[in-house]
Structure 1
Amino acid sequence: MTPREAAEWMLTQFEAKRFLYQEEAASHLLHLHNEALTYYNGSGNLCLGKEVLKEFNSLTKHAVYERSGKFWRDRLPSDQPGRQQ
């Protein structure tokens, strides 16, 4: 699976529920055994690969990332500018 295909899978999950937890996506992609899709950061946390995030962000202009809950959701009228809330 390429980073673009991973991002498209994430988009499908996001569109089905209107939100997507980062951990859920990273755990699913980890099982594909492709180091370009996920990695462990210095703290030992599972993260999505940078190319996957880049592709996902290009596909989801209407989504914002809730840093406190570590998930993407639809943008609300009350949101501040930018992708992260």
Structure 2
Amino acid sequence: MTEQDAAEWMFDMFMAKRFLYQEEAATHLLHLHNEALAYFDENGNVCVGKGVLSAFNKLTPDAVYERAAKFWRDRLPSDLPGRQQ
């Protein structure tokens, strides 16, 4: 699976529910044993690869990332400008 394939899989999961938890996506991608797709950071957290995130962000320009709960969701009229809320 390429980084683009992984981003498209994340996009499909996001579109199905209109939200996507980072841990859910990263854990799935981690099982593919490719550190470009997912890896553990220095604190032991599972993370989506940077290239995958970049491609996913291009596919979801109207999504926002809730930092506290670690998930992507549709933008609401009350959201502040920017990707992270």
Q: TM-score surpassing 0.5?
A: yes
5 Å-filtered alignment, 1:32-43, equals 32-43=32-43
CA distance in 1, matches of 2:75, 2:42: 30
Cα deviation, residue 37, structure 1: 0.3
Normalising by structure 2, we get a TM-score of: 0.98
Q: Which position in structure 1 is the counterpart of 2:66? A: 66
Structure 2 SS opposite 1:81: coil
- The alignment of Structure 1 onto Structure 2 pairs a total of residues equal to 85
5 Å-filtered alignment, 1:1-85, equals 1-85=1-85
CA distance in 1, matches of 2:40, 2:29: 13
Q: CA RMSD in A?
A: 0.5
Cα deviation, residue 34, structure 1: 1.0
Percentage of pairs with the same residue: 72
CA distance in 2, matches of 1:40, 1:31: 12
CA distance in 1, matches of 2:38, 2:15: 21
Deviations 1:44-73 (A, max 9, x none): 111010000000000000100000100000
Q: Which runs of 4+ in 1 moved over 2 A?
A: none
User: Structure 1: 5+ residue runs without aligned partners?
Assistant: none
